[in-house]
Amino acid sequence: MNKKVTNPLLEPGELPQFSNIKPFMIKPAIEQLIEQNRTAISALTAQPRHDWDSLIKPLELMNDRLDKAWSPVRHLNSVKSSPELRDAYNSCLPVLSEYSTEISQNHALYQAYREIEASEEFENFDAAQRKTITDALLNFRLGGVELEGEARERYQQLQKDLSELQSSFENNLLDSTQAWQYLTEDPAELRGMPEYALSMLRQLAEQKNLPGYRLTLDMPCFLAVITYAENRDLRKEIYEAYVTRASDQGITDKIWDNAGNMQQIVAKRQEKAKLLGFANYAEYSLETKMAESVEQVTEFLQDLAAHSREAAIGEVDERQAFAESMGFEGSLQAWDYAYYSEKLKQQRYRISDEDLKPYFSDNRVINGLFEIVARLYQVRITGVDDEVDRWDDAVSFYQIEDRNGDVIGRFFLDLYARENKRGGAWMDECINRYRIDGKTQVPVAYLTCNLTPPIGKEPALFTHDEVITLFHEFGHGLHHMLTRVDVPDVAGINGVEWDAVELPSQFMENFCWERDALILFARHYQTDEPLPDELYRRMIDAKNFQSALQMLRQIEFSLFDIRLHQQTDISSAEQIQEILDEVRSEVSVVTTPKINRFQNGFSHIFAGGYAAGYYSYKWAEVLSADAFAAFEEEGIFNPETGQRFLQCVLEKGGSRPALESFRCFRGRDPQIDALLKHSGIN
């Protein structure tokens, strides 16, 4: 017998062959594809003339080919991890990142794109083709392709320095987080903490072979202690340890102080922005976002703050009065806020996850979600029983048909938490929509959650938060799958501005709070009785509990971020503290203890991708609330409104600026009113 082992990554079928992908096949396949691409790109750029068919089309094909090999690997590494797979995956990361840097700095390729932009052909392109070219050119420029000589070297050095500084920031934070612990064997010290939290603390102790309870600064533990522990000294201790991580304050070692990293990161970002011709890093960051200018972002945040301030002061007073009614004397401090807020919330709404869970059983929720989508967009979602290759028996596969019965999208749904599956929830692209040689490649999505799995024969019962998570990710999925754009670089979520990409996902969340939508699926799993009115009312009231305070907190972080990245003369950590203090004096309605070094642990902006972009959370919320308000005005299942949203937003993907899509749907620019109303602030 002469049986040749084929590499499924090099010979992809219509869908990935998950069960045939073995770790040893991964790196050779990726390296081979990248090598082929390199050779092909050299040949392409060496051609005397460039146009869409001779340059962009072959590039699209190459990218699609590489995506089809890498996407299932990336996915398997997240949902069915093993040490061998992780090693194979990690070994490809530097190869892929080197390749993408190489492309973004390829001067010949850049010139070829410019030639197309300047050609007569460009005038006849459709919107998607034009945006593909202009997006690519912008990425080349932001990647430093136009820099030469010393400037080019300096740019590359800055990139390298920044990646090291950012990872040092993250490491300091991690080390100082792990350096603190609090041990006790006396349950009386932990009075007030719920059973789930106590078992978490016991588990944390067991992990270190210690008896009793172990408190750490990991988020779930910190939150549980600060929210529930009756012991005020303990709350104060964990608060101070948490807010002084990686700083010159507190008890952990000063060798982890991030002050130097922060100053250096901001200074080098500014230098990079200047090299690329921007006045400051905030402007550089906004170049690829929907928001038009730093002034617009600042005004947007200040406007939201002004509208929320009075309500937030009311919330603070109410909490203080409540604490006093419980016998508290003096002013509440930072380590008291969460504790008394939770007590007040419980007293007022008496609503818990356990009350709601029987009304959110798995099949009812999923069918309800599909029904809502069907009503909104006149599509039909059905399960596919074929022998589709899956990575786990719990995964199901579905298709979406439009009103003509044509299949326009397909998706894998992997709902439940499982061993060797990464936590969290996300949507990822499996296959992109792509029209080539008269045929359309139908988009395929991975929808992944970590919901509570079913036990025995009973259906899985979800918390309301879990239901929201599912709807959210499905919104991203619809953006990917309902697109009608044929050019892959701007189809679906590709090419959508960063601060607008959460619009379709947050939009879907709204249906989890609507009576008329809940009636479709929120029914008792045993009796089929619909969610009682009284429970629904408490759920809505609890939703907006202290929403103004939360709003101000997000605005404080966002304003600090944008202002910091406007500042081109940061030479010390003290200056950073001053900017934060100034923002707090403008926005905050609570006092922050002197010892607090929140900024030293703000990894979203210092180590992650949110630099001069933290405002995006609020920005996208305004867009999604305002979009949903159109449905509130015209009927939440109004098919005409649904078609308009489909055609103006979902189908268009990244083929035009998000603001144009929004205006097409709403007939005007976004307004903050709907978000304020949905948050119970007027």
Catalytic residues: 473
Segment interacting with Zn ion (CB under 5 A) among 503-511, 518-526, 543-551, 587-595: 503-511
Binding to Zn ion (CB under 5 A) within 323-352 occurs at none
- Least distance between Zn ion and beta carbon 496 (Å): 12
Contact by Cβ (8 Å): 650, 479: yes
The stretch near Zn ion (CB under 5 A) out of 349-357, 361-369, 504-512, 667-675 is: 504-512
- Closest distance between Zn ion and the C-beta of residue 506, in Å? 7
Read out DSSP for 502-538?
THHHHHHHGGGG-HHHHTTT-B-TTT-PBPPHHHHHH
Q: How far is the CB of 502 from Zn ion (least distance, A)?
A: 5
Minimum separation from the CB atom of position 424 to Zn ion (A): 10
Instruction: Indicate the residue among 144 and 504 with the shorter CB distance to Zn ion.
Output: 504
Residue with Cβ nearer Zn ion (315 or 502): 502
Q: Which two tokens stand for residue 479?
A: 């953006």
Among candidate residues 582, 152, 521, 232, the one with its CA nearest the CA of residue 361: 521
Of the two residues 399 and 505, which places its CB atom closer to Zn ion in the complex?
505
Which x/- pattern over 451-490 shows residues binding Zn ion (rule: CB under 5 A)? ----------------------------------------
Burial degree of 174 (CB within 10 A; 0-12, 13-18, 19+): middle
Q: DSSP string covering 140-179, please?
A: HHHTTTT--HHHHHHHHHHHHHHHHHHHHHHHHHHHHHHH
Asked if residue 616 binds Zn ion (CB under 5 A), the reply is no
* 338 token code pair: 């969460």
What is the chain's Cα-based Rg?
26
Largest CA distance in the chain: 86
Candidates 59-67, 150-158, 409-417, 502-510: pick the segment binding Zn ion (CB under 5 A).
502-510
| Residue of 682, 671, 681, 658 whose CA lies nearest to 628 | 671
**Class of residue 583 by CB neighbours under 10 A (exposed 0-12, middle 13-18, buried 19+):** buried
Q: Which residue is nearest to Zn ion (CB)?
A: 505
Q: Could you tell me the two tokens for 74?
A: 């990336």
Nearer to Zn ion, 52 or 507 (CB): 507
Window 195 to 254, contacts with Zn ion (CB under 5 A): none
CB nearer Zn ion, residue 505 or residue 547: 505
Beta bridge partners of 434: 441
Concatenate the DSSP letters of all residues of 622-640 into one string. Answer: HHHHHHHHHHHHH-TT-HH
* Shortest spacing between CB 123 and Zn ion, in angstroms: 37
> Which DSSP state fits 217?
S
129-137, 499-507, 556-564, 666-674 -> range binding Zn ion (CB under 5 A): 499-507
Choices 69-77, 500-508, 556-564, 654-662; region in contact with Zn ion by CB under 5 A: 500-508
- Least Å distance, CB 511 to Zn ion, is 15
Report d(CA 15, CA 13) in Å as an integer: 5
Q: Residue 472 Cβ, how far from Zn ion at the closest point, in Å?
A: 6
CB 429 within 8 A of CB 445: yes
Binding marks (x or -) toward Zn ion, 626..665, rule CB under 5 A? ----------------------------------------
Beta strand 407-416 with 213-215: parallel, antiparallel or unpaired?
Answer: unpaired
- Nearer residue to Zn ion within complex by CB, 424 or 639: 424
Count of residues that bind Zn ion according to CB under 5 A = 1
> Which CB, 85 or 623, lies closer to Zn ion?
623
Q: What is the dihedral of CA 233, 236, 242, 246, to 10 degrees?
A: -100
Contact with Zn ion (CB under 5 A) among 505, 588, 596, 661? 505
Contact residues toward Zn ion (CB under 5 A) are: 505
